[in-house]
Amino acid sequence: MEQYIIKGGNELRGEVEIGGAKNAALGILAAAIMTDEEVLIENLPDVRDVNVMLEAMSQIGVKVDRVSSHSVILCGENIGDVNIEYEYIKKIRASYYLLGALLGKYKKAEVPLPGGCNIGSRPIDLHLKGFKALGAKVSIRNGSICAEAEHLRGCHLFLDTVSVGATINIMMAASMAEGRTVIENCAKEPHVVDVANFLNSMGANIKGAGTDVIRIVGVERLHKTEYSIIPDQIEAGTFMFAAACTHGDVLVKNVIPKHLEATISKLLEIGCRVEEYDTAVRVIAPKRLSCANVKTLPYPGYPTDMQPQIGVALAMAEGTSIVTESIFENRFKYLDELARMGATSKVEGNTAIITGSDRLTGARVSAPDLRAGAALVIAGLAAEGITTIDDIVYIQRGYEAFDEKLRGIGAQIECVSSHREARKFTLKVG
Ligand code: EPZ
């Protein structure tokens, strides 16, 4: 089983290039099958979730031509099956985006119910509410969601909870429904906007993405397009916090600063200097970080996907901080791992009280989920001594060449798959 092994204490310095947004890519890949013509997608992140999604798509007959690790040509002309196999949904929940895409195009789809995951139960009731409001019959049979409609007709829908997945899934189905659809209380994340822009580039008629009301006029057909995915603001934020936690100075390139406003604001609050450029941000860390309170919220609030990363920073800051996780019910598991490195925290419901300590020490820890795993890497980079991280397959779901990019800015980190390799690393770094 692969592990990351890290020798902490190096100040990260230099430049790092950010890849395409995983969470935009997953919606865009699904939407791409809604046309029978060829679609070229570029700036695709080469991460496990994307690769599994492409496998799920080729399994139903989509032509997948991976022209490079960061671009793919898709054609949904010969889809022979609208039933996605369980093994794919088990690997990535977001294969449920194929439900909205297939329902929109073929008025029929069958996708296994996604289970919960490590950060919460993650229901999809709002997705199904939207499909029903568009006129689909939705039933759960043998562990799968079956959705079917004679016709999909536009509707006026209010989402009870702000949901990225439900907004994207319903937007896809509605883009090929008859008539007008209004979705209120929508998610406004950059990747929701990216999926809407992608659909519009195929001839959809979607207005208002990025606000809390999206208006769609359904079209009969969608056509070919070439599209480049936006940079990943969560990957960018992760490197920004890695700089903050290692007293570093890092230029994070290929970003959209506007998407990082909440993250930048918190980095400033904990004592960092941040320089903003057109497509890059530079983070210069102080000698000691300051405490702060943070509450995760839907965009443009502080992102839940950046909560573990700031949690690690606050565990090393001067003073006591309060972190409130308002989106998911189980996103503090990394604090149990961090305690093994000397961090002090107390979790009460969806709030964590974190008392900063002036030093973390290396330990063997395990990644509980994707973003918590990335946060534990940051902790290892900041800690004294050697940290070994198990279950890094979670991290590889959403971070391309994570160890390589970190080495490029001075980290001593390697991906090892045996005791011998781990020993070699330890002897090398001394
Ligand atoms: C997306 O998940 C992201 N995943 C998550 O990123 C991210 O944390 C989340 O949005 C919030 O920003 C992808 O885009 C693939 P939600 P999603 O629907 O769409 C509740 C990562 O690290 N809800 O916005 O599943 C839900 O329980 C991953 O890259 C319902 O109640 O999140 C949660 O409390 C982790 N009913 C809240 O809404 C529903 O039908 C927000 O969830 C749907 C959601």
- Residue-wise pLDDT for 109-153, tens only, equals 999 888 666 788 888 999 999 999 999 999 998 888 999 999 999
Domain with CATH 3.65.10.10 in the chain: 3-19+232-429, 22-228
Substitution candidate for ligand 1 out of 47, 122, 127, 140 with most atoms within 8 A of CB: 122
In three-state form (DSSP H/G/I as H, E/B as E, the rest C), the secondary structure along 168-218 is HHHHHHHHCCECEEEEECCCCCHHHHHHHHHHHHCCCCEECECECEEEEEC
pLDDT of residue 375: 98
**Tokens read off for 291:** 């405490």
Angle, CA of 362, 365 and 371, to the nearest 5°: 110
In the block, which residue shows the tokens 């509707």? 155
Output the CA–CA distances (angstroms, integers) from residue 341 to 27, 227, 314, 337, in the order listed. 37, 43, 14, 7
How high is the pLDDT of residue 428? 93
pLDDT at position 180: 98
Say how far apart CA 366 and CA 346 lie, in whole Å. 19
Cα separation, 188 vs 375, in Å, equals 25
Phi-psi region of 42 (alpha: psi -120 to 50; beta: other; left: phi over 0): beta
Alpha helices in 35-189 (DSSP H): 48-59, 86-91, 97-106, 125-133, 164-175
CA of 164 from ligand 1 middle (Å) equals: 6
Instruction: Tell me the C-alpha distance between 163 and 355, whole Å.
Output: 32
* Backbone φ and ψ of 207, nearest 5°: -125, 150
- Cβ of 215 closer than 6 Å to ligand 1, yes or no, is no
Structure token pair of residue 10:
């190096």
Q: Which two tokens stand for residue 167?
A: 């907004």
User: CA torsion 201→203→209→212, rounded to 10°?
Assistant: -170
Q: How far is the CA of 373 from the centre of ligand 1 (A)?
A: 18
Task: Say if CB 44 and CB 397 are below 8 A apart.
Answer: no
Residues of the chain under the 50 pLDDT cut: none
Using CA atoms of 75, 76, 77, 78 in order, give the dihedral in degrees to the nearest 10. Answer: 110
Which of the following is catalytic: 75, 117, 186, 272?
117
Nearest CA to ligand 1 atom 26: 122
CA distance 403 to 407: 6
| pLDDT at residue 91, as a whole number | 79
- Is 124 close to ligand 1, i.e. is its CB under 6 Å away? yes
Query: Ligand 1: distance of its center to the CA of 10 in Å?
Result: 34
CB 363 within 8 A of CB 379: no
Burial of 347 (0-12, 13-18, 19+ CB in 10 A): middle
CATH placement of domain 22-228 = 3.65.10.10
Q: Is 117 a catalytic residue?
A: yes
Q: Which residues does residue 320 pair with via DSSP β-bridges, in sequence order?
A: 355
Give the Cα separation of 404 and 63 in Å (integer). 31
Q: How far is the CA of 120 from the centre of ligand 1 (A)?
A: 10
Phi-psi region for residue 19, left (φ > 0), alpha (ψ -120 to 50) or beta? beta
Say yes or no: CB of residue 398 within 6 Å of ligand 1.
Answer: yes
Atom of ligand 1 nearest to the CA of 117: 35
Global pTM value? 0.97
Q: Which amino acid is at 334?
A: Y
Domain range 3-19+232-429, CATH class: alpha beta
Which residue type, as a one-letter code, is found at position 241?
Answer: F
Q: Whose CA is nearest to atom 3 of ligand 1?
A: 23
Which of 263, 327, 402 to mutate for ligand 1's pocket (most ligand atoms within 8 Å of CB)? Answer: 327
